[in-house]
Amino acid sequence: MAATPLPEREHLTICFAHVAYRLGERFALRNTGIRCFELRTLHELEARIGAADVLVVSGLWRNELLDRAKSLRFIQSISAGTDQYAREALRARGIRLASAQGANEGAVAEHAMALMLALARQLPQARDNQARRHWRAMISDPALREDELAGKTLLIVGLGRIGSRLAALASGFGMRVIATKRNPAVAADAAELVAAQDRLLELLPQADFAALTCPLTPQTELLFGAAAFAAIKPSAFLVNVARGRVVDEPALIRALQEGRIAGAALDCFWDEPLPADSPLWTFPSVLVTPHSAGETRRYEDNVIDLLLENLGRLWRGEDELKNQIV
């Protein structure tokens, strides 16, 4: 089904739906004259989605909402990931969809770099010692001391925008960067070696850090599983700022329990919030952040910039949206 044109500016209504982000407040400062309202809960969204021509949403989205969204013409996702949207159902109703890819690429790359630094410099252990008012003595065993990143090999799984930014940061710390990518011919200069995704197991033995920055697709779901943990060095660390299901969580837990990996820094999980009974909370060698890699003080404005760009394209009758998905 062809996409239905947007109402004109003076008749358009935008719904911002997110549990925390202050998108409506930031949008009001743009003085666009466009009507909008902001929601915080799924219950509110279920009740009011029928009034929206444009929906700006991510985690609150449920595909069942389509039956209530009689006026909906465009969804601007707040997140770069869009696996939660039923694309064929959107196409059948003439609803366009665009992602927020690029809105947080710098932030996620910086977060991944910070996680690697924290693991190498043992910052979580230092914080734990501070909480106990414990001054750690000098360590005679070199293998137990803090480490340096220079000279270490970083394997980036998914050398897209985020992965390329991370490659540049890591290179600045003197790390050797290798990567896998769906199309290794693109952005090949961002790393010393760029290989196809099917060479992951071949490259893993070289890695001191493996950073996941790939999207979640049928090809990457559970990509980092038992075979990957068997291939990686026991002294290596895993960093996941991609999607939870790129990693086989039970296989990761087994690898940690059996000492087949030195540790992990994880920003995303199979279930979020991470359940209180998850063993991942309990490993001293695991650093958990609450899917916050992409969050910055400018994030709302970055998403609104994308939204306004795409609204302009739709009003001009252009076929291609920025970060178009549907």
Where in the sequence numbering do the catalytic residues fall? 243, 272, 291
Rounded Cα gap, residues 164 and 282, in angstroms: 32
Strand partners of residue 155: 178, 210
DSSP 221: T
Cβ neighbours, 10 Å, residue 253: 17
Rounded Cα gap, residues 291 and 15, in angstroms: 24
State residue 231 phi and psi, 5-degree precision: -85, -30
80 by DSSP, 3-state: which?
A: coil
Token digits of residue 116: 């690697």
Name which of 47, 64, 42, 48 is nearest 15 in CA terms. Answer: 48
State residue 179 phi and psi, 5-degree precision: -155, 160
Query: ∠ at Cα 81 (79, 86), nearest 5°?
Result: 110
Token digits of residue 73: 């013409």
For the four alpha carbons of 222, 223, 227 and 233, in that order, the dihedral sign comes to negative
Strand pairing category for 193-196 and 153-157: unpaired
